[in-house]
Chain A
Amino acid sequence: MKKPLKFRLPKGQCWTIGVPYFWLLLFFALPFAIVLKISFSTAAISIPPYESLFNYADESLQILLNIGNYLLIFDDSLYIYAYLGSLKMACVTTLGCLLIGYPMAYAIARAPKQQQTLLILLVMLPSWTSFLIRVYAWMGILSNNGLINNLLLWLGVISEPIQMLNTNFAVYIGIIYSYLPFMILPLYATLSQLDGSLLEAASDLGSRSMNTFWKITLPLSKGGVIAGSMLVFIPVVGEFVIPELLGGPDSLMIGKVLWQEFFNNRDWPVASALAIVMLGLLIIPITLFHRYQSRSMEKDA
């Protein structure tokens, strides 16, 4: 497929497409092939800590595929619970971000044009500062001698601090807090493109505003809802920092388990197999996002 392309394209175009193409093949596509390969190998105490998949012995190439890593994942309830925990966490937080983010995006899109840029800037600003520090802020607020507990104790609502840090509750808060801007931005992008005359027409024809919202505004902003939800859902499934800092022993998430397999147990093959299964789970949301993204990025004349 590469050859005819080169003949058709002039030299300059060939370079323009070739450089990023080569870079992405090397640093994006190839690494996934390697992860797939290592997920089929056996862990060993060596450097690097796995056995080679291909052996050349007795004048024949031996390929040793070890599916033991996958069997282990589907056999051990720890991994199953971690996957389920991640998916549940991602569903709940995506919904939470949508419920908070949609009205916010709607209000921004309806604001006077002059204010819109400033409001979007205010929404995005926290996400340009450090992610880690935003999660850290919640540690101080939610801990046993933190702000909320101190306030409630002082008001006399509770007699002893409520355990909030190191629970799933803290993880929910932390994820919604960190990912909210990524939900609002694509929603705002579609809502601000919405043709106001459609809404006027609906209301002239006697449609109630709730009805107009469900029949016109929401369907027309479907693209933004999908993009925003995927921008939250997909990274949250693999999230590591938030469950590690805000969660407790019961908040099992697959990103955390993968990290521990890799860094603490040094079991690279199992970590790779965990990553491959995670990708398998995410393949539908990722394709969904891609279809939307490439449709909006490639304008076909």
Chain B
Amino acid sequence: MSSLKDKLSFSTIMLWAGMFFLYVPMFILIFYSFNESKLVTVWGGFSAKWYGELFRDQQILDAVWTSLRVAFFASSMAVILGTMAAFVMTRFSRSWGKMTLSSMITAPLVMPEVITGLSLLLLFVHMADTFGWPAERGMFTVWLAHSTFCAAYVAVVVSARLRELDQSIEEAAQDLGATPFKTFFYITVPMISPSLMAGWLLSFSLSLDDLVIASFTSGPGATTLPMVVFSSVRMGVSPKINALATLIILTVSLIAFISWYFARRSDKKSLPPAM
């Protein structure tokens, strides 16, 4: 048994080394956002002045607002599309339509972003050429692009939940005379609502984070936050970006831990007290 223990401890050491590797760069980023000096890597004393600069930068503030709006609408659309696709994949009988749908919906998961971005841009250019719509690229085209690739993630998350759901409850509702439509909204949706929320949050963060697809499909009117950050980072490191990074990391961690806490609490409630 001692050799088993050795292997266990090897994987445990790797786990903690890996966690160290994942987190140290982020802590360094946060640490240097409070640096007085303009040189990011030279410590010049504690200061919060870069946060002040950040909130006075109108370009960044505008980009944040654009990104938040795109992410909100894109993730909402992605939840609708992704849930429909997940429902088809887990509840419908095998058919030609279901097969092609399930292979199309998961394709964006592994498609290199440059290909997705390029192909969507060429589509929009073609549509504008042929129908005169969309007349110019901007928030709307980015929304279309983001809804499509986020729907893939929602479909994966929601179908995992739909598969483990007890179908007899849905069947009971239908036996008692509920229409499929009513069954879905009164029975299925409440039962899968945690994964709908998880899919929405995942889509929201993916959309907020996307640079490549947004760069291809956006126009002069709509600059998203990653586009602004990218053009500034290309010039080199800047303490203002460190301050922005810190705010993003803290917000995401806070949301993640709150949802984890509530998920754990509801898990505990559903367990019998003996456990």
A295 CA to B184 CA, complexed, in Å: 25
Q: Which residues of B contact A271 (CB under 8 A)?
A: 118
Contact check, A146 vs B209: say whether CB atoms are below 8 A apart: no
> Helix, strand, loop or mixed for chain B's interface?
helix
Contact check, B123 vs A34: say whether CB atoms are below 8 A apart: yes
> Helix, strand, loop or mixed for chain A's interface?
helix
Closest CB in chain B relative to A14 CB, distance in Å: 9
Known: A17-B92, A28-B104. A126 touches B109 (CB 8 A): no
Contact check, A29 vs B115: say whether CB atoms are below 8 A apart: no
* Interface size counted on chain B using CB atoms at 8 A: 102
Q: Which residues of A contact B208 (CB under 8 A)?
A: 130
Q: Which residues of B contact A258 (CB under 8 A)?
A: 114, 118
Q: Which residues of A contact B179 (CB under 8 A)?
A: 12
Contact check, B260 vs A140: say whether CB atoms are below 8 A apart: no
**B159 contacts chain A at the CB level, 8 A cutoff:** yes
Closest CB in chain B relative to A155 CB, distance in Å: 16
A136 CA to B237 CA, complexed, in Å: 8
Known: A12-B180, A297-B89. A24 touches B101 (CB 8 A): yes
Known: A268-B122, A275-B119. A145 touches B163 (CB 8 A): no
Q: Which residues of B contact A119 (CB under 8 A)?
A: 15
Q: Mark B115-130, 1 if CB is under 8 A from A, else 0.
A: 1001110110110010
Q: Which residues of B contact A130 (CB under 8 A)?
A: 208-209, 226, 229, 245, 248
**A72 contacts chain B at the CB level, 8 A cutoff:** no
> A287 — nearest CB in chain B belongs to which residue?
B103
Known: A103-B14, A275-B118. A141 touches B112 (CB 8 A): no
Indicate which residue in B11, B94, B180 contacts A107 across the interface (CB closer than 8 Å): B11
Contact check, B14 vs A126: say whether CB atoms are below 8 A apart: no
**A123 contacts chain B at the CB level, 8 A cutoff:** yes
A68 CA to B107 CA, complexed, in Å: 29
Question: Which B residues, 77 to 113, have Cβ-Cβ distances below 8 Å to chain A?
Answer: 81-82, 84-85, 87-90, 92, 94-98, 100-113
Q: Which residues of A contact B21 (CB under 8 A)?
A: 100, 177, 180
A134 CA to B102 CA, complexed, in Å: 32
Q: Which residues of A contact B148 (CB under 8 A)?
A: 23-24, 27-28
**B172 contacts chain A at the CB level, 8 A cutoff:** no
Interface residue range, chain A: 35 or more
**A231 contacts chain B at the CB level, 8 A cutoff:** yes
Indicate which residue in A146, A279, A294 contacts B103 across the interface (CB closer than 8 Å): A294
Indicate which residue in A25, A129, A143 contacts B237 across the interface (CB closer than 8 Å): A143
**A64 contacts chain B at the CB level, 8 A cutoff:** no
A240 CA to B116 CA, complexed, in Å: 13
Contact check, A24 vs B14: say whether CB atoms are below 8 A apart: no
Contact check, A293 vs B3: say whether CB atoms are below 8 A apart: no
Known: A16-B84, A28-B148, A238-B112. A35 touches B103 (CB 8 A): no
A145 CA to B92 CA, complexed, in Å: 59
10 contacts between A and B (CB under 8 A): A24-B148, A34-B123, A107-B15, A122-B19, A133-B248, A137-B29, A203-B1, A235-B113, A239-B112, A293-B106
